[in-house]
Structure 1
Amino acid sequence: MGQSILGTRMITQIGIIVQDIEAVSQAYAEFLGVEKPTWSWTDPVEVARTEYMGQPSPGRAKLSFFDCGQLQIELIEPDDQPSTWRDYLNEHGEGPHHIAFVVDGMKEKVMLLEKHGMSLAQKGEYPGGRYAYLDATRDLKLWIELLENNK
């Protein structure tokens, strides 16, 4: 067996698209036996520098996180603006959207995945780092999110 394309097999997060973050957060909290986390909005385009399909995008989402050991569950309720989240909800409904990996060298990893047929669809920044969504639905049947944290 060879080395993984990203140099890691450690999935750090599963992202799930939802219509109602309040209801689904409550359901996960009850299922996991934890307190329901407070959701927050992603930053606006001026802060996050969000790009979708190569263009600046005002698309935002409500996010709620559940830490489950080494794996985090991210619930995502998109607004109505263009984004990978909104498109996924419109086309597929609620459900698993992505698996995420923490990487070093975001630009190089994006180029590497693009060489493997996974196109960059959305990218942006968050406090302490940056993210990129690559379309791996042809082969892997979901999106890949790369997370790079500042050192």
Structure 2
Amino acid sequence: MNNGILGTKVITQIGLLVHDIEKVSQAYAEFFGMEKPAWFWTDTVDKAQTEFRGASSEARAKLAFFDMGSLQLELIEPDRHASTWREHLDAHGEGVHHIAFVVEGMKEKISLMEGKGLKLVQKGEYTGGRYAYLDTFEPLKVMLELLENDK
């Protein structure tokens, strides 16, 4: 059997939206008996080249990561600017926002998914790679994030 559209079946990350990253990261740290990770801001639009629904966006978010073995738990506290994070948090409250997969050939994967009616919602750059969120709620009941790391 093939590895489908993405070329992988390995979920690398689960992303959760939160209102208070300090409070929630402390709760996870205590629950799992782990050290609380430091949070950091995503890059500004000039560096991240953030686009939301096809337009440039100044959206930023505080991020904190818990490495849970083969899976990473990402906590996301968005700022007030238009983004998939802000939109989803405002509409649905705190909780799961996405599951993520590491892919190769980001542009090709996005094209394949859009060819199946799965729309690109947000994309941007981070140090060492790029990300893209695709609206897969109708068929898969969750947003997918694609991550492509530079080699």
Q: If the TM-score is normalised by the length of the shorter chain, which range does it land in? A: over 0.9
1:132 and 1:93 map into 2 onto residues whose CA distance is 21
Say whether residues 1:110 and 2:110 are aligned partners. yes
- Partner Cα distance (1:29, 1:115) in 2: 41
Secondary structure of the structure 2 residue equivalent to 1:26: helix
* Cα deviation, residue 116, structure 1: 1.9
Q: Would you identify which runs of 4 or more consecutive aligned residues in structure 1 move more than 4 Å?
A: none
What is the CA RMSD across the aligned residues, in angstroms? 0.9
Q: TM-score, normalised by structure 2?
A: 0.97
Is the contact made by 2:3 and 2:9 (CA closer than 8 Å) also made in structure 1? Answer: no
Deviations 1:58-113 (A, max 9, x none): 00000000000110000000000000000000100001000000000000000111
Q: What letter corresponds to residue 98 of structure 2 in structure 1?
A: H
For residue 120 of structure 2, what is the amino acid of its counterpart?
Answer: L
Distance 1:141 1:78 in 2: 22
Instruction: List runs of 5+ in structure 1 lacking aligned partners.
Output: none
Alpha-carbon distance in structure 2 between the residues aligned to 1:27 and 1:113: 36
Q: Which moved more, 1:112-121 or 1:54-63?
A: 112-121
Aligned equivalent of 1:73 = 73
Equivalence for 2:119: 119
Residue type of the alignment partner of 2:51: E
Amino acid of the structure 1 residue aligned with 2:13 = Q
Aligned CA distance change for structure 1 residues 3 and 35 (closer, same or farther; 3 Å): closer
The one-letter amino acid paired with 1:7 is G
Identify the residue that residue 95 of structure 1 maps to in structure 2: 95
| Unpaired runs of at least 5, structure 2 | none
TM-score of the superposition, structure 1-length normalised? 0.97
Q: Give 1:26's aligned residue.
A: 26
Match of 2:16 in 1: 16
Identical aligned residues as a percent: 65
Following superposition, the deviation at residue 3 of structure 1 comes to: 3.5
